[in-house]
Amino acid sequence: MVNILENKLKEKISSLIEELEIIIGYSESKAPLKVNPVFIKTKEEIDRLIFNNLCINNLATYSYYLAADTKGKIGIILKPCDVKSIIQLISEELLIKNKIKTIVIGCNGIIDYKKINKAVNYQKIISAKLDENNNNITVNTVDESFNFRLKDFFAEKCYTCNIYDNPPYYDEFIENDFKLNLEKKKEYEDIEEFEKLGLEKIYKFWEEEFNNCIRCYSCRNICPLEVCRDKCIAQLDEPHWQSQKINSSEGKFFQMIRIFHLAGRCTECGECERVCPANIELLKLMKKVNQIILKLFDYRPGLILDMKPPLLTFKNVEQNIKEEELI
C-alpha cells in the first residue's frame, strides 16, 4: 500500500518539477527508524523520495527561510497536520501563498520513534523494517529482535487527529484509501490530568524537568512558526532578558518566551518535543496555551487562511473574559 502511495507521489512530483525550483521531501536515512529531509532540484533525484509511517518530521520548518532565499516557487511535501503550519504562516503574512506549492499526502499515521526506543528498553537499535501491509514493524537490537504492532506506537497527535484524509488547505492532494482506525482520545485529556497534581507538585515537576535543559535552542530552531531566530530576545544583549547560565529557572524562562511568542499560533506539530535532547515535555506547555486560547477566543491555530491570531486583534467587549475587580 505504501508503495502505491509512493509511486503516486513520484508521478505527481515528475509532473510538477518543471515549474518548481526546489522540492522538499523525505528520503531514506542511515539511522534506523528515522527519515531525512531531501531537497530535490532535478528529475533524476525524484527516485530518492519516500513516504511511510516513519515520516514524522514537519517539513514546513524549511519553508520560511527557503522561500526567502529562492527566486522561484518551492514545493513542499506535507502531511495533513503539517499543512496547518503553512496556513498559519500565510495567515500571518510571513509566507506568500503564490510562492509555495503544498503537496499534501493522505496520512497513514506516523510512528513516534521515542515510544519504540522505550519499548525496547533503550537498547541500541541496529535496523528496523516496516512490513508490506503496514501493520507491523520489526526492530532489531544488538541481542534481540522485536515485532511490534504499529497501532501501539503512533505519535500522540494521531490519537486526536481528524484531518488525516481531509487537509484544511492544499494545492495538490494525493489521496490515500487508508483509514486510520485509532481509538480516539479526548482533546487536552492529558492536560486536565496533569493539572490535578496541584500547584506545588506542578512547580516541582517543571523545576526538575528544566534542570535538564541545556538551552541548545533546538526547540526554537525546529519550530516552523518561530521565524524570529536572529532577533530572538533570549540572545539579545540589549535588553538583556536572559543570562547564558544553564539552570532550571533560565531554561524555564526561555520556554516562557517561546510560549508567549507562540500563543494562539502553535499548531501542535510536536517537533519541539521530538527534537529535545533532554526529553522535556514541551508540548504540554503549548497545549495548555492552546486550550486557553480555545476557551477564551474560540480559535484553533492553522485552520483558516484569512484569520488573524487572537492576540493580534481584539474586541471591545470580550464575552469570555471575566475581569476580577479587587474592590
Residue ranges binding another protein (CB under 8 A): 195, 199-206, 233, 241, 243, 245, 247, 249-250, 252-253, 256-257, 259-260, 263-264, 285, 288-289, 292-293, 295-297, 310-311, 314-316, 318, 321, 323-327
Closer to another protein by Cβ: residue 107 or 285:
285
- Evaluate whether 165 touches 182 at the Cβ level (below 8 Å): no
Tell the smallest beta-carbon distance from residue 75 to another protein (Å): 36
Tell the smallest beta-carbon distance from residue 115 to another protein (Å): 25
Tell the smallest beta-carbon distance from residue 294 to another protein (Å): 11
Name which of 174, 193, 181, 183 is nearest 101 in CA terms: 174
The x, y and z cell numbers of residue 276, run together, are 529535545
Give dist(CA 100, CA 86) in Å, integer: 9
Which ranges of 70-112 does DSSP label H, i.e. alpha helix? 80-91
Q: Which residues pair with 291 in a beta bridge?
A: none
305: number of Cβ within 10 Å: 13
Q: Which residues pair with 27 in a beta bridge?
A: 36, 49
Tell the smallest beta-carbon distance from residue 243 to another protein (Å): 6
Place of cell 530576545: 233
Closer to another protein by Cβ: residue 72 or 198:
198
Closer to another protein by Cβ: residue 159 or 205:
205
Tell the smallest beta-carbon distance from residue 1 to another protein (Å): 41
Tell the smallest beta-carbon distance from residue 215 to another protein (Å): 14
Which ranges of 155-304 does DSSP label H, i.e. alpha helix? 189-195, 199-211, 218-222, 248-262, 271-275, 282-297
Closer to another protein by Cβ: residue 11 or 318:
318
Closer to another protein by Cβ: residue 140 or 211:
211
Q: How far is CA 161 from CA 83, 88, 182, in A?
A: 13, 18, 9
Name which of 98, 83, 102, 104 is nearest 304 in CA terms: 83
Closer to another protein by Cβ: residue 6 or 187:
187
Per DSSP bridges, beta strands 35-40 and 125-130 are unpaired
Closer to another protein by Cβ: residue 181 or 244:
244
188: number of Cβ within 10 Å: 17
Tell the smallest beta-carbon distance from residue 326 to another protein (Å): 4
